[in-house]
Amino acid sequence: MKGRAAGAAAQLDEAPDGFRLEEFLPYQLAVAANRVSRMFARRYADEFGLSIPEWRVMAVVGRFESASPSMVSERAAMDKVKVSRAVGTLVARGLLKQTQDPEDGRARVLRLTRKGLSTYQNLIPAARELEEELSTGLNRTEWAQLRKSLERLVAHVEKLEGPEAELDAE
């Protein structure tokens, strides 16, 4: 009986066309990205009370000292609705201020508040620590190759899809 069960399990494991979702690169990338994002999300939520979109907004605004919501959307690979929601939450929590752009009255400029700057300054070491934890799963050469390969893959996808293709990684 064990032989039949093993044979049936092997048949279920192999699709007639040989396609295995778990070996499909887009699936593997999505699973890796989702698991890493969830790990980061748990830490940011526990330590700072921030979601991934909120953290990304703070990272972009903190890096550039001020940014438009469009710039945040582009730099953080987030759709404008997610940026808007994250900005609203961060403004309500006193971490971000949103003012009218003096050069374009319709546009908005985002800046960290003092409280936001303090939080941002604590976020960066935490982000680096998490990245360091991830990197220990690979040797130095593999880690460098992974980063370089991902950069090349993104550049190639941009060539295929165009730089204006919708992005919303999370």
In this predicted structure, the answer to whether residue 3 has a pLDDT above a threshold of 70 is no
Residue 3 lies in a domain: no
Residues 75-92: tens digit of each pLDDT: 998 999 999 999 999 999
Task: Read off the pLDDT of each residue in 110-136 and give the average, rounded to a whole number.
Answer: 94
With b for 16 or more beta-carbon neighbours within 10 A and e for fewer, the 4-20 pattern comes to eeeeeeeeeeeeeeeee
Which of 38-42, 57-61, 65-69, 80-84 is least confident? 38-42
Name the region of 24 (left: φ>0; alpha: ψ -120 to 50; beta: rest).
beta
Residue 9 lies in a domain: no
Contact (Cβ atoms closer than 8 angstroms) between residue 69 and residue 78: no
Q: pTM surpassing 0.85?
A: no
Residue 129 lies in a domain: yes
In this predicted structure, the answer to whether residue 66 has a pLDDT above a threshold of 60 is yes
In this predicted structure, the answer to whether residue 103 has a pLDDT above a threshold of 90 is no
**pLDDT band per the 50, 70, 90 thresholds, residue 170:** very low
Contacts 24+ apart (CB under 8 A), 78-81: 78/53, 78/167, 78/168, 78/169, 78/170, 79/166, 79/167, 79/168
Residue 65 lies in a domain: yes
Number of domains in the chain: 1
Domain that holds residue 66: 21-161
Residues 137-166: tens digit of each pLDDT: 999 999 999 999 999 998 999 899 886 655
| Maximum CA extent, the chain | 78
Domain containing residue 153: CATH number: 1.10.10.10
Residue 76 lies in a domain: yes
Contact (Cβ atoms closer than 8 angstroms) between residue 109 and residue 68: yes
Which of 11-25, 114-128, 149-163 is least confident? 11-25
Residue 145 lies in a domain: yes
Q: What is the pLDDT of residue 132?
A: 95
Residue 4 lies in a domain: no
Residue 13 lies in a domain: no
